[in-house]
């Protein structure tokens, strides 16, 4: 299915961004393994990976379902993300990964055709008006006893630095406006997931996870690269003043050199919905 270049993922598909996503995945890897454990996708299952990107979780899913199972990895970026995923799957010896280029706003599958659906940090980049219809379709794809596992941010304004930052609240607001964009995306869409899955007829289990990383450690790259690589674009778009950016980065540089500094990310709503 062709993609609409006006609907690109907010932060683009550059090599630097794909690397940033890999660093982010590693920071959250243990939490994601626990989330997958709660979903309990079994061997032989057919599982859909919504908005898989370069497939950092796709291969974990492929391992979980085993050679008799199948992972349908769906993303709008067929040129870069899915191409990288196919290369990594081949290198790792996985033959059970099927990639599909599609816009999630319209992507569909036959009713009662899959055993599981997984998605993380993807619905926040869709227009909010498209999320409820997508959840309805997802619920329809599930076989009896099948599982839908979705993880999304739920309180973007919670991001915090210790020692406290005078400028981070303005940075968080600018990032929220950037993610929302002209398409009406919701960077805190995680708050809506329990209700949406419940209304779609699924039994809902929820868990909220948080992440804190310490300066001068490799994990600090997670927020560091986001701020340094993507905040300048917000100045160009009029979402953030140059003075605010410069003041924040000066403060951030101080925190980055302080082994006692800690960055707290937005809490993430992890929702497991089970088809009766």
What one-character-per-residue DSSP string does 78-139 give? TTTHHHHHHHHHHHHT---EEEEE--TTT----TT-EEEEEEES-GGGSBHHHHHHHHHHHH
Closest among 109, 113, 117 to 144, alpha carbons compared: 113
More confident site: 11 or 204: 204
CATH fold of 11-40+103-274, please? Rossmann fold (3.40.50)
For 240, counting Cβ atoms within 10 Å of its Cβ (0-12 exposed, 13-18 middle, 19+ buried), the class is buried
Query: Which H helix or E strand runs over 28?
Result: none
**Mean of pLDDT values over 196-212:** 97
pLDDT tens string 41-60: 999 999 999 999 889 899 99
**Mean of pLDDT values over 119-145:** 97
Mean of pLDDT over the chain: 92
Task: Return the DSSP state at 264.
Answer: E
Q: How confident is the model at residue 4 (pLDDT cuts 50, 70, 90)?
A: very low
- Beta strands 97-101 and 70-75 are parallel
- Beta strands 114-120 and 97-101 are unpaired
Query: Which H helix or E strand runs over 226?
Result: helix 221-236
User: Is residue 144 within 8 Å of residue 275, measured between CB atoms?
Assistant: yes
Query: In this model, does residue 112 exceed pLDDT 80?
Result: yes
Query: In this model, does residue 7 exceed pLDDT 70?
Result: no
What is the distance between the alpha carbons of residues 49 and 115, in angstroms, rounded to a whole number? 12
Stated length of the chain? 276
Query: In this model, does residue 12 exceed pLDDT 70?
Result: no
Closest among 130, 190, 180 to 158, alpha carbons compared: 190
Task: Look at residue 247 in the predicted model and tell me its pLDDT.
Answer: 97
Cis peptide before 105 (omega within 30 of 0): no
Query: In this model, does residue 8 exceed pLDDT 70?
Result: no
Proportion of the chain above pLDDT 90, given as a percent: 84
Task: Look at residue 11 in the predicted model and tell me its pLDDT.
Answer: 59
Domain map of the chain by residue range? 11-40+103-274
């Amino acid at each position: 299915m062709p993609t609409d270049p006006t609907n690109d993922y907010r932060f683009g598909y550059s090599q630097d961004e794909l690397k940033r996503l890999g660093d982010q995945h590693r920071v959250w890897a243990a939490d994601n393994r626990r989330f997958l454990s709660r979903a309990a996708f079994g061997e032989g299952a057919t599982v859909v990976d919504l908005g898989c990107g370069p497939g950092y979780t796709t291969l974990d899913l492929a391992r979980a379902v085993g050679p008799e199972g199948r992972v349908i990895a769906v993303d709008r970026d067929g040129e870069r993300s899915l191409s990288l995923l196919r290369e990594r799957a081949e290198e790792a010896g996985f033959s059970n990964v099927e990639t599909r280029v599609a816009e999630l706003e319209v992507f569909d599958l036959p009713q009662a055709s899959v055993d599981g659906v997984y998605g993380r940090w993807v619905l926040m980049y869709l227009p909010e008006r498209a999320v409820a219809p997508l959840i309805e379709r997802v619920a329809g794809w599930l076989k009896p006893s099948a599982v839908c596992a979705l993880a999304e941010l739920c309180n973007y304004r919670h991001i915090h630095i210790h020692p406290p930052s005078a400028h981070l609240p303005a940075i968080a607001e600018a990032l929220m406006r950037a993610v929302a964009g002209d398409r009406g995306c919701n960077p805190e869409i995680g708050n809506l997931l329990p209700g949406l899955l419940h209304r779609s007829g699924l039994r809902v289990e929820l868990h909220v996870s948080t992440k804190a990383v310490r300066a001068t450690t490799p994990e600090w790259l997670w927020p560091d690269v986001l701020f340094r690589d993507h905040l300048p674009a917000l100045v160009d778009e009029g979402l953030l003043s140059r003075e605010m950016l410069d003041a924040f980065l000066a403060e951030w540089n101080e925190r980055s050199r302080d082994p006692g500094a800690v960055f707290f990310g937005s809490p993430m709503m992890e929702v497991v919905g089970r088809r009766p």
